[in-house]
Each structure stands twice: as C-alpha cells, then as structure tokens.
Amino acid sequence: MSRLTTPRTASNPAILASFAIGVPHEDRNSHYGFESSPTDLLRTLDGHTLASAGDTWEVVISGIHTVGSHRWIQILLDGPTPEHVVVRIADRARSSDALDAIRAWLETPTRSERILRVD
C-alpha cells in the first residue's frame, strides 16, 4: 500500500473546517443525526481501512458535497492499485452505507449507480 504524505484530514482542524464551508448551518451541527453530516462522515470515513478481494485499502476523503438529497463523497482508495472514486449516498445515510458500497465495488468493479470511478 502506498503511503500518502498529506496531513490526515480528520485530525487536522483547518482541513476539517474547510469541509463545512457552503454547508447549511443545521447540517454542520449534525442535524440529521450521528454520522450523517458531512463533518461526521469525514471523521468516520477518513483513514478507515477496508479489506476486500484479498487486499487492504485505506479510505482518504478529498471532498464531501451535498446536492439535493444526496451526498457525493470524493475518495482516494489507497491500496495495491490506488483508485479515485466518487460515492453517492442519501443525505441521511451513514458511513457504513458508503463503506458497504465501496467494498462491493472493490469486489466487483463494474458500473454502479452509487460509485463513479474517476480516471
């Protein structure tokens, strides 16, 4: 697995604060509940390790955007072959929903309604 030299987003307050810019005030306060605000998703997902298809991948979040009733999460999957993806989840979904979608995609990387591979 390659190691990134960028600071961990979830532990860096300056980077963490940048994810709240442009997010409605009620969302920044976790209005929707545990793990559903962009900040909570960032804290939960960033740095998470996934095991799939016999390999290990680290989830590195590069952005979380709310559009309508969905969240679009930009992710680097840092593993044997780094993958850049965007994951679409419902705005009230939990981090486990995103991880389940990523894990399923890693096992069978085909077209998905929830995962967009960025080349």
Number of Cβ within 10 Å of residue 37's Cβ equals 25
- Please report the pLDDT score of residue 110 as a whole number: 78
How do residues 21-39 score in pLDDT, each as one tens digit?
334 434 443 333 445 788 8
- d(C-alpha 72, C-alpha 87), whole Å: 6
- Please report the pLDDT score of residue 35 as a whole number: 57
Task: Specify the residue for token string 């298809």.
Answer: 53
How do residues 87-119 score in pLDDT, each as one tens digit?
999 988 889 999 999 999 998 877 778 898 887
Task: Specify the residue for token string 């993958």.
Answer: 83
- d(C-alpha 112, C-alpha 102), whole Å: 10
**Lowest model confidence (mean pLDDT) among 54-58, 69-73, 81-85, 91-95:** 91-95
| H helical segments located in 3-116 | 13-18, 25-28, 38-45, 95-107
Closest to 59 (Cα-Cα) out of 42, 73, 41, 45: 45
Name the residue ranges covered by the structural domains of the chain: 13-118
Question: At 81, which amino acid appears?
Answer: T
Task: Specify the residue for token string 């939990």.
Answer: 94
